């Protein structure tokens, strides 16, 4: 039994549910013979990867699904051995920089040169003979080191006869200008409430048994879908996982059914409530335990800070004892922006998180009646 | 086989390079006198730096002799200090090969070799220091051409040994001519209006314009050109500013959340706000403008140290809303 998120993943451009304009664009690029280097960007779970694979399928046919995973061993300049996996089909391959630590420049260069020099690529299945190139997908492109990005520049020009790069990232802020100059940017927005809803509806239509657990009324169902969209930040993948989890935990689901949240988010919620209601030194000490707990479960400090800020925002709105809500919110966000920068520059996460909490307590203390 | 147009129409000769007329005039003279100093090219992406030196090398030596006289190293090659000491030095000290009589007749074939260090911004300072001695010791038989986007990334002892050439972003008239030439030879059916639009969004980067011409023009029917280029549509910027003026914090928060979900990135938002509030807006007095630029600067600086986009943009928006 595969997860709904996998089972209902569209395979072709025609099957894709939303962003029809982008699908049409990709389809015309795939058939035109002028396929450029691409840079896909958009929030997690917006459907970037699905669109890329569907585009490749249009170019190469079902061959693209014959995936194999090869372990590659690579010897770094300092003679250390580095092992990682390369996913590939006869017509494309995929790499993920975080697999290779700081050696991404050398590894990517080596792989690209290898691909460019292999002439034996099988193109007999390629529908359109103009597209005689191999595609290299680079996931998490924002994590590429600057060196690795620089190394791609001339490579993208020199090997343009037989390689096309497809870079995938959440934000293009850390992609260097020369790379943007060499790629066509494709912006994939997160699906709206309704767009997520229509995907969920399709899942229910396909499984009448499942549909029985959901309200018969369409607007009530859409209310549930909107709640899912909200708590998953419009991430369709986690949205589908949540929909499936709701179904398996509840015999019947109504608009009142509580959403299932990951533990760490609940910990942060409670932490935030504690801080807003009790602004004391002993509370600060208790918070430290929670923070250590979160960090030891490898929740990134920046994510903790961001989620805390969002929670504070909400709690300030709800708390009738807090005066001058606008000033309080502005001050909290300003502190967040300062400590967020310190998190990027410093190395002891816990110091900066505690510093932030202390400042928030001070801001609140001044404005509580 | 599909050749991208940027490669197909890469200038083959110096006089095919458009726009950089000052640079080209000086270089052409040096070509005639076959007397050339070390060169340093700098300027933004897609302005013709790599193309110019490759064209010049071809005109100096011809395609045959080029193979033994020119060494091209770019950021994809290993260029640490050890490579500079070995590979670069070894090539620099080689005595020059003799041209064939045929080459001699057709090309200037000056008595030196050319080492092109393209994308030199990514070379370490150590490697650059190792380079300067080599530049001096072998200058009787070797010339260097160093290419970068940011001249500040090149150490002074090197820049001071080179003639510097700045490649500026291409102006519309020059780029338009190139785009028209390409559209004609590819038999494209595209009007001047669309060409001008392409130039508007490329900011003087001719590579970007040519890429757009090849792939983008088919897409124009599907979506607005701003959207295809990843820019924020003007009306969205306008409603952002109205939202900020409303000073309704929850509305501002929702607006930012929407921008993030649509994947408008912080750099683009900053640029749009900058041009709208500082370059165009007439309602703000100078004190307000000073405050705006301070906040923009602070945000940009925090973002460049890798901080979270959502938090920083939220702070930016809230601070800006105070000013109105
Ligand atoms: N001045 C120019 N004249 C003619 N074509 C140009 C010019 N500038 C750029 N181009 C076009 O853009 C393409 C890229 O130019 P080029 O490789 O020279 O850029 P670059 O300055 O080296 O950029 P980068 O800094 O990104 O390496 C060329 O193949 C050519 O088609
Ligand atoms: Mg270049």
b/e burial code for range A13-48 (CB count within 10 A of at least 16 → b): beebbbbeebbebbbebbbbebbbbbbbbbbebbbb
Spatial separation of the C-alpha atoms in residues A283 and A287, rounded to whole Å: 6
Residues 6+ apart with CB under 8 A from B30: B36, B37
- pLDDT, one tens digit for every residue, chain A (369 residues): 688 988 888 888 888 888 888 888 888 888 877 889 999 999 999 999 999 999 999 998 888 888 889 888 877 767 778 888 889 888 899 988 877 777 788 888 888 888 877 754 555 555 455 567 889 999 999 888 888 999 899 889 988 888 999 999 998 888 999 999 999 989 899 999 999 999 999 999 999 999 999 999 999 999 999 999 999 999 999 999 999 999 999 988 899 999 988 899 999 999 999 999 999 999 999 999 999 999 999 999 999 999 999 999 999 999 989 989 999 999 999 999 999 999 999 889 999 999 999 999 999 999 887
Task: Kindly provide the residue ranges of all beta strands, DSSP E only, lying in chain A, ordered along the sequence.
Answer: 38-41, 68-75, 81-88, 92-95, 134-138, 163-169, 184-187
- B213 token code pair: 């011409």
* Strand A68-75, strand A81-88: pairing: antiparallel
* Residue B6 CB less than 6 A away from ligand 1: yes
Helices B309-323 and A301-318, packing angle to 10 deg: 40
Distance CA A151, CA B122 (A): 9
> Is B56 in contact with B214 (CB distance < 8 Å)?
no
Q: Report the pLDDT value the prediction gives residue A222, as an integer from 0 to 100.
A: 95
**From CA B244, how far away is CA B322, in angstroms rounded?**
9
Q: Please tell me the distance in Å from A153's CA to the nearest CA on chain B.
A: 8
Q: For the whole model, what pTM was predicted?
A: 0.89
Please work out whether the CB of residue B139 comes within 6 Å of at least one atom of ligand 1.
no
**Which of A25, A187, A340 is the closest to B219 by Cβ?**
A25
Residue A251, min C-alpha distance to chain B (Å): 33
Phi (first) and psi of residue A55, to 5 degrees: -65, -45
Non-local CB neighbours of A91 within 8 Å, separated by 6+ positions: A56, A59, A60, A63, A64, A121, A122, A123, A126, A134, A135
Listed residue (A158, A168, A151) closest to A56, CA to CA:
A168
Q: Is the pLDDT of residue B282 over 70?
A: no
CA A335 – CA A338 distance, rounded (Å): 5
Rounded Cα gap, residues A34 and A27, in angstroms? 11
Is any atom of ligand 1 closer than 6 Å to the C-beta of B169?
A: no
Structure tokens at A324: 């001058």
Q: Point out the ligand nearest to the CA of residue B18.
A: 1
Contact assignment for A330 to B205 by CB distance below 8 Å: no
Q: Is the Cβ pair A151, B76 closer than 8 Å?
A: yes
- Interhelix angle B309-323/B249-261, rounded to 10 degrees, is 140
Instruction: For residue A8, give both structure tokens.
Output: 């209902």
Closest approach of A171 to chain B, Cα-based (Å): 6
State the average pLDDT over residues B2-21.
89
pLDDT, tens digit, 9 for 90 and up, residues B144-172: 999 999 999 999 999 999 999 999 999 88
- Chain A hits for B232, Cβ within 8 Å: none
Contact B201, B225 (CB under 8 A): yes
Is B211's C-beta closer than 6 angstroms to any atom of ligand 1? no
3-state secondary structure of B117: strand
| Torsion, CA A21, CA A27, CA A30, CA A33, rounded to 10 | -90
- Residue A279 CA to residue B136 CA, distance in Å, equals 67
Is the CB of B313 inside a 6 Å radius of any atom of ligand 1?
A: no
Q: Which of residues 5-24 of B touch A (CB under 8 A)?
A: 6-7
Q: Do A173 and B265 touch (CB under 8 A)?
A: yes
Can you give the pLDDT at residue B1? 47
Give the pairing of strands A134-138 and A92-95.
Answer: parallel
Residues of chain B above pLDDT 70, percent: 96
Name which residue leads in pLDDT, B117 or A105.
B117
And the tokens for A190?
């997160």
ipTM, interface predicted TM-score of the complex: 0.88
Question: What's the first-to-final CA gap in chain B, in angstroms?
Answer: 57
Instruction: Map out the domains of chain B with their CATH numbers.
Output: 5-166 (3.40.50.300), 172-229 (no CATH), 234-323 (1.20.272.10)
Read off the pLDDT of each residue in B248-272 and give the average, rounded to a whole number: 92
B290–chain A Cβ distance below 8 A for any pair: no
pLDDT band at B279 (very low <50, low <70, confident <90, very high): confident
Contact A181 B46 (CB under 8 A): yes
B130 phi-psi bin (left φ>0, alpha ψ -120 to 50, beta other): alpha
Q: Which of B105, B23, B11 is nearest to B58 (CA)?
A: B11
Pairs of CB atoms within 8 A across A/B:
176
Query: Of how many residues is chain B composed?
Result: 324
Inter-chain touch A152–B44, beta carbons under 8 Å? no
Residues of A in contact with B319 (CB under 8 A): 330, 334
CA pair distance B205, B48, nearest whole angstrom = 9
Q: Which residues of A touch B2 (CB under 8 A)?
A: 33-35, 130-133
Could you tell me the sign of the dihedral formed by the alpha carbons of B195, B201, B206, B212, in that order?
negative
For residues B28 and B30, what is the distance between their CA atoms, to the nearest angstrom?
5
Reply yes or no on whether the pLDDT at B99 is more than 60: yes
Instruction: Note the pLDDT of residue A123.
Output: 55
Q: B30 CB under 6 A from ligand 1? A: no
| 8 Å CB contact between B70 and B45 | no
Per-residue pLDDT at A119: 56
User: Tokens in use for B185?
Assistant: 């030879």
Residue B171 is given by DSSP the state P
Q: How far is the CA of B7 from the centre of ligand 2 (A)?
A: 12
Are residues A154 and B118, on separate chains, in Cβ contact within 8 Å? yes
């Amino acid at each position: 039994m595969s997860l709904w998120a996998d089972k209902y993943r569209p395979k072709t451009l025609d099957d894709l549910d939303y962003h029809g304009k982008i699908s049409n664009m990709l389809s015309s690029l795939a058939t035109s013979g002028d396929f450029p280097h691409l840079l896909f960007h958009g929030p997690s779970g917006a459907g970037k990867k699905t669109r890329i694979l569907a585009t490749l399928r249009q170019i190469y046919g079902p061959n693209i699904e014959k995936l194999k995973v090869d372990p590659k061993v690579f010897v770094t300049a300092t003679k250390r051995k580095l092992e990682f996996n390369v996913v590939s089909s006869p017509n494309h391959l995929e790499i993920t920089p975080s697999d290779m630590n700081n050696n991404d420049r050398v590894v990517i260069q080596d792989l690209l040169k290898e691909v460019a020099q292999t002439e034996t690529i099988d193109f007999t299945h390629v529908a359109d003979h103009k597209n005689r190139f191999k595609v290299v997908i680079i996931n998490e492109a924002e994590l590429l080191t600057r060196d690795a990005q620089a190394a791609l520049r001339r490579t993208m020009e020199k090997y343009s006869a037989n390689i096309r790069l497809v870079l995938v990232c959440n934000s293009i802020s850390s992609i260097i200008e020369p790379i943007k100059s060499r790629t066509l940017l494709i912006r994939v927005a997160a699906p709206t409430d309704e767009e997520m809803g229509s995907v969920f509806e399709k899942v229910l239509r396909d499984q009448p048994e499942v549909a029985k657990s959901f309200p018969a009324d369409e607007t009530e169902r859409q209310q549930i879908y909107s709640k899912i969209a909200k708590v998953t930040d419009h991430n369709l993948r986690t949205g589908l996982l949540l929909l499936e989890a709701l179904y398996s935990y509840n015999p019947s689901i109504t608009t009142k059914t509580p959403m299932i949240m990951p533990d760490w988010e609940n910990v942060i919620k409670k932490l935030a409530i504690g801080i807003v209601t009790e602004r004391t030194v002993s509370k600060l000490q208790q918070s430290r335990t929670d923070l250590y707990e979160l960090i030891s479960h490898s929740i990134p400090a920046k994510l903790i800070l961001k989620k805390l800020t969002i929670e504070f925002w909400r709690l300030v709105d709800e708390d009738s004892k807090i005066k001058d809500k606008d000033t309080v919110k502005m001050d909290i966000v300003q502190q967040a922006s300062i400590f967020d920068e310190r998190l990027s520059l410093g190395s002891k996460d816990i110091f900066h998180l505690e510093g932030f909490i202390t400042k928030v307590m001070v801001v609140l203390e001044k404005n509580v009646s | 086989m599909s050749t991208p147009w940027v490669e197909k129409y890469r200038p083959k000769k110096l006089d095919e390079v458009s726009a950089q007329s000052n640079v080209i005039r000086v270089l052409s003279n040096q070509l005639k006198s076959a007397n050339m100093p070390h060169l340093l090219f700098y300027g933004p992406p897609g302005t013709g730096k790599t193309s110019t030196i490759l064209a010049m090398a071809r005109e100096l030596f011809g395609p045959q002799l080029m193979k033994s006289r020119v060494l091209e190293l770019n950021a994809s090659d290993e260029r640490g200090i050890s490579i500079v000491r070995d590979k670069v030095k070894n090539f620099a000290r080689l005595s020059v090969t003799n041209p064939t009589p045929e080459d001699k007749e057709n090309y200037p074939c000056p008595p030196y070799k050319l080492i092109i260090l393209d994308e030199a911004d990514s070379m370490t300072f150590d490697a650059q220091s190792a380079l300067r001695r080599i530049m001096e010791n072998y200058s009787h038989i070797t010339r260097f051409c160093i290419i970068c986007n940011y001249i500040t990334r090149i150490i002074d002892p090197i820049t001071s040994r080179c003639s510097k050439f700045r490649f500026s972003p291409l102006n519309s008239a020059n780029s338009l001519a190139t785009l028209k030439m390409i559209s004609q030879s590819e038999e494209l059916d595209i009007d001047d209006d669309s060409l001008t639009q392409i130039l508007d969004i490329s900011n003087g980067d001719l590579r970007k314009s040519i890429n757009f011409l090849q792939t983008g023009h088919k897409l124009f029917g599907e979506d607005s050109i701003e959207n295809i280029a990843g820019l924020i549509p003007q009306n969205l910027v306008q409603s952002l500013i109205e939202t900020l003026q409303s000073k309704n914090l929850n509305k501002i928060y929702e607006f930012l959340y929407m921008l993030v979900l649509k994947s408008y990135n912080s750099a683009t938002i900053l640029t749009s706000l900058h041009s709208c509030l500082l370059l165009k807006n007439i309602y703000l007095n100078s004190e307000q403008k000073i405050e705006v630029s301070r906040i923009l600067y602070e945000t940009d600086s925090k973002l460049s140290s890798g901080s979270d986009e959502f938090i920083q943009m939220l702070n930016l928006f809230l601070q800006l809303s105070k000013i109105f």
